[in-house]
Amino acid sequence: MKEFIINDNEAGQRFDKYLAKLLREAPKSFFYKMMRKKNITLNGKKATGNEKLISGDHVKLFLSDETFEKFSGSIPAPRAKHSLDIIYEDENILLINKPAGMLSQPADDGTPSLVEYLTGYLLDSGSLTEDDLRTFRPSVCNRLDRNTSGLIAAGKSLAGLQELSDMFKSRNLHKYYLCLVEGVLKQEKHIRGHLTKDKKSNKVTIHKEEREGALPIETRYFPLGDNGKRTLLKVELITGRAHQIRAHLASEGHPIIGDPKYGKTAGRVKSQLLHSFRMEFPAVKGTLSYLTGKAFTAPVPEIFLEVLKKEQLEESYYENLE
C-alpha cells in the first residue's frame, strides 16, 4: 500500500488528473477501475476522479510495489545548475532576469534551458523534493527568444502556475521591453500588422494586410531618447508572437541594433539589444491577489548598458527605470 498526502502544489486539480501524473505509465482505464474497486481511495472513501483536491487530502493506493513501480515509471527530473538572477520570489511564483544566450524552454537537442535551471534551483533550495516531481513540474509562463534578455515569470506552485498562465493568455499582465533601434523616432505609436512564420528558416514576415495563415499582431512603442541616429524605445508587447518586436520594428524601417536576423550585428554586439525590463500586474483574484497593481523591473545586461553609454543614451535609460 502506498499513501500520499496532497500538498499545496498538488491542491486545486481534479483527482483523476493527479492520478494521471502519479501513474503516468498507466492507461486511464486502470485507475478508474481501481477507484471503482476501492483499490485507490481518497480520504478513506471511494472516489470517482472528478473530486477537486485540497491540501491535506489523503490518497491511498492498495497496489503491489511491482504494480506501482511499473505504472509510475521513473521520475524524469530534468535539472541543471546555473546561477539565476531572481528579481522576485514568493511561495507561488518567481520572476527571473534571463540572460541573453539562455533558452527559455527545453530544446529538442537537450540543451539546458531556464526550466531545467529553475528545477535545479528549487530542488537545491528545498522548495521542491524529488517526490514532488512525480505530480508537479515548475515551469515558465512566458518565453523570450534565446538572445533576448529580461523578465520571465515562473510558477513555483500549481496555483501560481495556473494563475500566471491565465494572465498571459488573457493579456492582462502588461509587459514592457527596452530596445535600441536604428533611426530617430519622436512620437509614440501603436502599430498593427499580420505575421507569418517560415519554420524552416525560423524567421517571420510582417504584412500590412490580412492574409491566409497570418496572425494579427499589435505593438506599441514609446521613444525615451535619441542621439540623432539611434533611439532608445520602450515597447509594450500587446500580442505575443514569435520574433514580434524584432520583425515588427524592422518592417517599420527601425531594426534593433545587433539583430542578425532582422537587422545586422554591430561591433561587439552580436545579438539584439532587446530586454524585457518591466511587468505590471493587473487586478488579480485568487491565490495571487497580493500581486495586484505591483510592478517589477529588471536591469539591462552589461553589454546593453555599455552601448547606451557609448551612444550617450544612458541618462534616458536611468530616467525610465522606475
DSSP state of 301: P
Q: What CATH number did the domain enclosing 255 receive?
A: 3.30.2350.10
The residue from 8, 145, 226, 259 that is catalytic is 145
Q: Please provide the DSSP assignment of 62-87 as one string.
A: ---HHHHHHHH-------------EE
Identify whether residues 194 and 161 lie together within a single domain: no
Quick check: is 78 in a domain? no
Residue type, 33: K
**Residue 215 belongs to a domain:** yes
User: Are residues 117 and 8 both part of a single domain?
Assistant: no
Among residues 170, 187, 208, the one where a domain terminates is 170
14 and 107 both lie in a single domain:
no
**71 φ, ψ to 5°?**
-90, -20
| Shared-domain flag, residues 209 and 314 | yes
246 within some domain: yes
The count of C-alpha atoms lying within 13 angstroms of the C-alpha of 38, restricted to the half-sphere facing its C-beta, is: 4
* Per-residue model confidence (pLDDT) at position 308: 96
The list of the chain residues with pLDDT below 50 reads none
Domain span at residue 33?
A: 2-72
Residue 57: active-site member: no
Here the contacts of 303-306 (C-beta below 8 Å, separation 24 or greater) are 303/100, 303/268, 303/269, 303/273, 304/149, 304/178, 304/180, 304/273, 304/275
Position 79 in a domain: no
Q: In terms of domains, do 135 and 198 share one?
A: no
59 falls within a domain: yes
Q: What is the pLDDT of residue 77?
A: 56
Kindly state whether residues 186 and 311 are assigned to the same domain. Answer: yes
Do 199 and 274 fall within a single domain?
yes
| 188 shares its domain with 314 | yes
Q: Which residues contact 124 (CB under 8 A, 6 or more apart)?
A: none
CATH at 20: 3.10.290.10
127 close to 160: Cβ distance less than 8 angstroms: no
Residue 213 belongs to some domain of the structure: yes
Domain boundary, last residue among 137, 152, 170: 170
Say whether both 148 and 178 belong to one domain.
no
Quote the number of domains for the chain.
3
Task: Indicate if 211 and 111 belong to the same structural domain.
Answer: no
**Claim to verify: residue 180 and residue 314 sit in the same structural domain:** yes
| 190 lies in some domain | yes
The pLDDT value recorded for residue 73 is: 72
What pLDDT, on the 0 to 100 scale, is given for residue 140? Answer: 94
Same domain, residue pair 21 and 90:
no
